[in-house]
């Protein structure tokens, strides 16, 4: 009996090998199509600006359908995370229309994605959203380095195997491990995020031994620039480790990056000297990464010879698919109705660009709302949009996505007067140039590879304060630029006293480094400083506050200034014209 069973097993194995070999064509072409950082750009429509656009998943689907009809190659469709934040259509599906299948599940299942990776902004939506969506997707949603703290295994699927004409394609998903630096722990509770390089080494070994794939793809929601925020190649849990993985881990043929919203198409060498193609198609469905793999069977080596080439394809000239638009027309109209709800009136126009150059009505409106909601003494905020405006007149739900871009919670934290000063010193150093004379730049700028001048630091780290009166000396050295005069109430400001401070959850968890590197509070001690946290995102409370006020006159309270004043005014005019020449 045992001999018969063994014979049957051997016959089955031999048959599998025979048919697998038979199914393998002597040559084959596979086309990989990848999107990343879509940020809710499902329709060719900007719900915030209330106007049509020329980038969307609807346009991506037109291209995907055409490729799938091409008999010359097989296709694979991948996404690299961060789809659940951005356009109001996903906010509405995340938090309002929760009684039905998520719009992203509906759309991506319809488009027949083969696999996707989880992004940090997908986690930001919270457990109820991403846990539900993970069940609704018809494809694996991956993050091998997001570890379930109860089981010690990945919270999401670590990798998947796709097969095309007998060719096995392994796709490993990784997420940036810096999430605890930005998001409240309750949002990612039950998970810890491991180093990308260490995780890749672990899983590439498992994949090779268990699956024996012909092609290995890395689908990493993480950027390319591993030096960002003063990190190095040796930084443990580097936020942007995509290129580091490609250079330090053998086995990958292609690595897709994301997270940083940049466009990349270049090749690096792995430790064994093999070429690894790195691709990143920017964001908001403006581009697709398209990789062609030509496979020719090598009889002598008993393996595939691979020729891999990549291109970035823009979507702006692609007509959105009519079937797609018709199928999801109902949710489109529902979202439009939601964002066009009137919530109040503004008596004047406010613009985010003003907040880049000093005290502004735009930032002070956020400060005002934060102080009212939290009842704190002091508020910190930064402009979360580079160049947006809310026009005078009726204000709608959609305008709140211009005023406040991200789904941050509002924290009330205990900070000493000295920590508040050091926080502002840190911000000023990121923000303002140390001027030598009146002809110098006001802002810290850097020259891009193309020779253009841009902000040296991210504008969303330009954090100002309300509730205190202070001066920033543009001539003074780092650490000696901020002079706090008093509380705006007129009371004395004491460096040794503790104050209640309103601050968003991104910053309150250490995002940007203001509290950790600036104020000097250890990362593991930040949670002890939180007195209160809102249960809903700050934008929700902003909407409710404006509804209560009905009519808003945005005012600049002029609680902080920059000196020397003549230097400031001249440099401000020059840099404003440089960064916003049309104005």
DSSP string, 102-130: -HHHHHHHHHT--EEE--HHHHHT-HHHH
- Is a pLDDT exceeding 60 seen at residue 9? no
CB 235 within 8 A of CB 14: no
Summarize the confidence of residues 88-101 as an average pLDDT. 96
Other Cβ atoms less than 10 A from the Cβ of 299: the count is: 7
Is 134 exposed, middle or buried, given 0-12, 13-18 or 19+ CB atoms closer than 10 A?
middle
Give me the pLDDT at residue 25, please: 57
Give me the pLDDT at residue 19, please: 40
Give me the pLDDT at residue 434, please: 97
Q: Backbone dihedral region of 251: left (phi > 0), alpha (psi from -120 to 50 degrees) or beta?
A: left
Q: What is the DSSP string of 207-274?
A: HHHHH--SEEEEEEES-S-TTGGG--TT-TT-TT-HHHHHHHSTT-SEEE--SS--EEEEEEE-TTS-
Give me the pLDDT at residue 336, please: 97
Give me the pLDDT at residue 406, please: 85
- Is a pLDDT exceeding 60 seen at residue 16? no
254-256 and 215-221 beta bridge pairing: parallel
Summarize the confidence of residues 260-286 as an average pLDDT. 97
Q: What is the pLDDT of residues 249-259, one digit of tens each?
A: 999 999 999 99
Q: What is the pLDDT of residues 319-354, one digit of tens each?
A: 999 999 999 999 999 999 999 999 999 999 999 999
Q: Which secondary structure element, helix H or strand E, spans residue 466, and what is its range?
A: strand 464-466
Give me the pLDDT at residue 583, please: 52
Give me the pLDDT at residue 28, please: 93
Summarize the confidence of residues 175-204 as an average pLDDT. 96
Q: What is the pLDDT of residues 358-373, one digit of tens each?
A: 999 999 999 999 999 9
Buried b (16+ CB within 10 A) or exposed e, 407-435: bbbbbbbebbbebbbbbbbbbbbbbbbeb
Distance (Å, rounded) from C-alpha 19 to C-alpha 166?
A: 9
Give me the pLDDT at residue 389, please: 93
- The pair of three-digit structure tokens given for residue 430, joined into one six-digit string: 């990121």
Peptide bond before residue 429 is cis, with ω within 30 degrees of 0 = no
Domain positions in the chain:
23-335, 344-579
430 compared with 2, residue with greater pLDDT: 430
Binned at pLDDT 50, 70 and 90, residue 17 comes out as very low
H helices present in 24-114, as ranges: 57-68, 88-95, 103-111
Give me the pLDDT at residue 90, please: 97
- Is a pLDDT exceeding 90 seen at residue 317? yes
CATH for 344-579, options being 3.40.190.10, 3.90.780.10, 3.40.50.720, 2.60.40.3140: 3.90.780.10
Within 8 A by CB and 6+ apart from 372, the residues are 545
CATH number listed for the domain at residues 23-335: 3.60.21.10
Identical fold for domains 23-335 and 344-579, yes or no, is: no
Average pLDDT in the chain: 94
Within 8 A by CB and 6+ apart from 486, the residues are 468, 469, 492, 493
Q: Supply φ then ψ for residue 411, to 5 degrees.
A: -100, 150
Q: What is the pLDDT of residues 65-79, one digit of tens each?
A: 999 999 999 999 999
Give me the pLDDT at residue 48, please: 94
- The pair of three-digit structure tokens given for residue 19, joined into one six-digit string: 């048919």
- The pair of three-digit structure tokens given for residue 429, joined into one six-digit string: 């150093």
Summarize the confidence of residues 531-542 as an average pLDDT. 92
Dihedral sign from CA coordinates of 532, 535, 536, 537: positive
Distance (Å, rounded) from C-alpha 571 to C-alpha 555?
A: 23
- The pair of three-digit structure tokens given for residue 409, joined into one six-digit string: 């919670």
Beta-bridged to residue 297, according to DSSP, are 304
Give me the pLDDT at residue 447, please: 87
């Amino acid at each position: 009996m045992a001999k018969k069973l063994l014979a049957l097993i051997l016959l089955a194995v031999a048959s599998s090998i025979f048919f697998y070999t038979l199914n393998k064509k002597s040559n084959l072409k596979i086309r990989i199509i990848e999107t990343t950082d879509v940020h809710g750009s499902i329709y060719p429509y900007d719900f915030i600006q209330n106007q049509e656009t020329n980038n969307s998943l609807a346009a991506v689907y037109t291209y995907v359908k055409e490729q799938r009809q091409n008999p010359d190659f097989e296709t694979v469709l991948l996404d690299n995370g961060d789809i659940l934040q951005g356009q109001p259509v996903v906010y509405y599906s995340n938090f309002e229309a929760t009684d039905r299948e998520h719009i992203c599940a509906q759309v991506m299942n319809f488009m027949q994605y083969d696999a996707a990776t989880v992004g940090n902004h997908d986690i930001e939506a919270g457990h109820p959203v991403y846990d539900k969506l993970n069940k609704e997707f018809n494809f694996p949603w991956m993050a091998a380095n997001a570890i379930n703290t109860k089981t010690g295994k990945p919270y999401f699927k670590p990798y998947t195997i796709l097969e095309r004409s007998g060719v096995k394609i392994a796709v490993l998903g990784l997420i940036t491990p810096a999430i605890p630096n930005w998001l409240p722990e309750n949002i990612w509770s039950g998970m810890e995020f491991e180093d990308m390089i260490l995780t890749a080494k672990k899983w590439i070994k498992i994949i090779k031994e268990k699956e024996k794939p012909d092609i290995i793809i890395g689908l990493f929601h993480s950027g390319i620039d591993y030096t960002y925020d003063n990190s190095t190649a040796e930084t443990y849990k580097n936020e942007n480790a995509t290129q580091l993985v490609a250079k330090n881990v053998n086995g990958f043929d292609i690595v897709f990056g994301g997270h940083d919203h940049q466009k990349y198409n270049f090749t690096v060498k792995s430790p064994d000297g093999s070429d690894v193609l790195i691709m990143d198609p920017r964001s908001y469905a403006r581009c697709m990464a398209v990789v062609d793999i030509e496979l020719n069977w090598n009889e002598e080596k008993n393996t595939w010879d691979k020729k891999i080439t990549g291109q970035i394809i823009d979507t702006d000239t692609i007509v959105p698919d009519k079937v797609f638009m018709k199928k999801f027309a109902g949710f489109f109209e529902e979202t439009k109705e939601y964002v066009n709800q009137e919530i109040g009136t503004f008596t004047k126009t406010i613009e985010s660009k003003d907040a880049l150059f000093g005290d502004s009505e735009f930032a002070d409106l956020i400060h005002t709302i934060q102080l009212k909601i939290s009842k704190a003494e002091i508020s910190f905020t930064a402009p979360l949009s580079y160049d947006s405006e809310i026009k005078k007149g009726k204000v709608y739900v959609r305008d709140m996505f211009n005023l406040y871009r991200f789904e941050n919670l509002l924290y009330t934290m205990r900070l000493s007067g000295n920590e508040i000063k050091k926080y502002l010193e840190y911000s000023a150093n990121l923000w303002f140039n140390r001027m030598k004379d009146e002809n110098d730049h006001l802002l810290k700028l850097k020259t891009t590879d193309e020779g253009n001048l841009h902000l040296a630091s991210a504008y969303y780290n330009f954090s100002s304060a309300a509730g205190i009166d202070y001066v920033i000396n543009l001539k003074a050295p780092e650490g000696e630029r901020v002079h706090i005069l008093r509380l705006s109430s007129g009371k004395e400001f004491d460096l040794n006293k503790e104050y209640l401070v309103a601050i968003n959850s991104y910053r309150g968890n250490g995002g940007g480094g203001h509290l950790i590197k600036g104020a000097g509070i250890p990362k593991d001690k930040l949670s002890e400083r939180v007195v209160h946290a809102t249960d809903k995102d700050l934008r929700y409370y902003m909407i409710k506050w404006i509804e209560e006020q009905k009519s808003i006159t945005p005012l600049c309270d002029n609680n902080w200034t920059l000196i020397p004043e003549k230097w400031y005014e001249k440099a401000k005019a020059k840099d404003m014209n440089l960064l916003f020449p049309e104005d």
